[in-house]
Amino acid sequence: MKILNDEDIYQRELNRIFAQTWVYVGHESEVPEPGDYRQRTIGEDPFVFVRDENGTLRVLFNSCRHRGANVCRAEKGNTTHFRCPYHGWTYQNTGDLVGVPQKGDGFDHLDADEYGLREAANVDTYNGLVFACIAPDAPQLEEYLGGATWYLDMYFDLIDMEVIGDPQRWVVDADWKTPTENFYGDNYHVPMGHKSAIDVGIGSETATGEEESELYGIADCDGHAFSIYQIDSEKPMFWGHPEDVVETFNHDALDDDQHEVARRSGVTLGTIFPNLSFIFLGGRDDPNKDPVGTFCLRQWQPRGPGKMEAWNWILAPKDAPAEYKERVYEVGMSTFSAAGNFEADDIGIWDGIDDAAGSVFVEQTEATTLFTMGRGENAAATIDDDWAGPGTAYADGGLTDENQLDFYRTWYETITTEGAE
Ligand code: FES
Ligand SMILES: [Fe+2]
């Protein structure tokens, strides 16, 4: 339990996880034009996610090469240059140093080519999702995502999506691992933790299981995990999107198996290690209207032991009508955002876990938590050998701790890898 609120372990996580693995920085649609930028963090480190003059996506370390001040102060914008507010060094949005005030007086010897902004060693995009890895020795992004690509294609290749509005951000007194573990597939908490939201009818049929459905937990997927509702219906489900929006999807992008899983999909969620989660959810902003399919990408940003900042982006199909996108945003905001119904259910619970983890009692008694659900002799979830995608598919409500254990196995392997600090 202690791992959820411990300074030494937290520092290890920053050094060995966030500085060594591929970490999500943003969606391509957030910086569509040359010069567009957004401030982002990797672990706790400040970066600028920018599309430079040549259209290349860069993740620049937001720190002047002179004395280290942040050169980018605005959350977002469009600029050709970043000028440091301290002494005025000026950098192109490629990171190149192009201006040093009074250079002839004090910096005659300075070779500007050597003093561009530092940047993440690796930046790559998968279906519009942009990731960066600070460390030079990174596997290819696609290799890192492994079997998860089969699932990500089903969402981001099938649907050209764009971020609507700005990400919502809020600080939570919970360790980043608590929601991450939850989004690896804690299907067990839904009937209890979200009972009131379900009882009042928030969410569509595809969200509440009114239709005949099967919930799968997908584990053993190269360190990443998913939970997928499959609705037993001949109708196109596609997470609650209506027919005219489904028509705009790139149906040819998927193979037959992927397409069939997508067609039958109700609520779907998952997590890419270390801290990028997502949820697809059908829901309503108006009881008299048909549901819309909303999609939230979320990132659990470490901000100290037992403390995090939650970031939430709402995405909609790019080619859907503007009015539909607005409804997608409304439903996303009312379910999974700082003030969302489902979000509030979870957050109110998570912060107590971390308080307990940092307690003297835990320190002195080595209290532990339990990860035995549906395992060994208690196996409740059966493995579906016919599941078409990568990983192991646990059927029967996904009631197993295998998904969450996948997270902690990957976490443990990563923080214990030698030579990474
Ligand atoms: S710290 Fe940026 S110019 Fe001095
Ligand atoms: Fe939840």
Axis-axis angle for helices 402-415, 177-185 (nearest 10): 140
Cβ–ligand 1 contact at 66 (below 6 Å): yes
What pLDDT was estimated at residue 208? 45
Residue 420 has pLDDT above 70, yes or no: no
Cβ–ligand 1 contact at 82 (below 6 Å): no
Question: Residue 413, by phi and psi: left (phi above 0), alpha (psi -120 to 50) or beta?
Answer: alpha
Cβ–ligand 1 contact at 12 (below 6 Å): no
Q: What is the sign, positive or negative, of the torsion defined by CA atoms of 410, 412, 418, 421?
A: positive
Cβ–ligand 1 contact at 72 (below 6 Å): no
Give, in degrees to the nearest 5, the angle at Cα 130 between 125 and 132. 100
**Radius of gyration over every alpha carbon of the chain, rounded to an integer in angstroms:** 22
Ligand 1 geometric centre to CA of 146 (Å): 42
Residue 50 DSSP code: E
Mean pLDDT calculated for residue range 299-321 = 97
Cβ–ligand 1 contact at 64 (below 6 Å): yes
What pLDDT was estimated at residue 101? 95
Ligand 1, pocket-test mutation among 63, 66, 102, most atoms within 8 A of CB? 66
Q: Three-state SS string across 278-329, please?
A: EEEEEECCCCCCCCEEEEEEEEEEECCCCCEEEEEEEEEECCCCHHHHHHHH
Tokens of 269: 């969620």
pTM: 0.95
What pLDDT was estimated at residue 381? 75
Judged by its nearest atom, the ligand closest to the C-alpha of residue 343 is 2
Share the mean pLDDT of the chain: 92
What pLDDT was estimated at residue 283? 84
Tokens of 227: 């939970």
Encode pLDDT of 116-141 as tens digits. 999 999 999 999 999 999 999 999 99
Nearest Cα residue to atom 4 of ligand 1: 87
Residue 203: pLDDT band (50, 70, 90) is low
Cα–Cα distance, 111 to 320 (Å, whole number): 50
Tokens of 105: 């007086």
Q: How far apart are the first and last CA of the chain?
A: 24
Cβ–ligand 1 contact at 91 (below 6 Å): no
Ligand 2 geometric centre to CA of 246 (Å): 27
Residue 1: pLDDT band (50, 70, 90) is confident
DSSP string, 54-118: TS-EEEEESS-TTT---S--SSEEE-SEEE-TTT--EEETTS-EEE-TTHHHH-TT--GGG-SPP
Residue 265 has pLDDT above 90, yes or no: yes
Ligand 1 geometric centre to CA of 1 (Å): 43
CB-based burial, 372-410: b 16+ in 10 Å, e otherwise: ebbeeeeeebeebeebebbbbbbbbbbbbbbbbbbbbeb
Ligand 2 geometric centre to CA of 299 (Å): 15
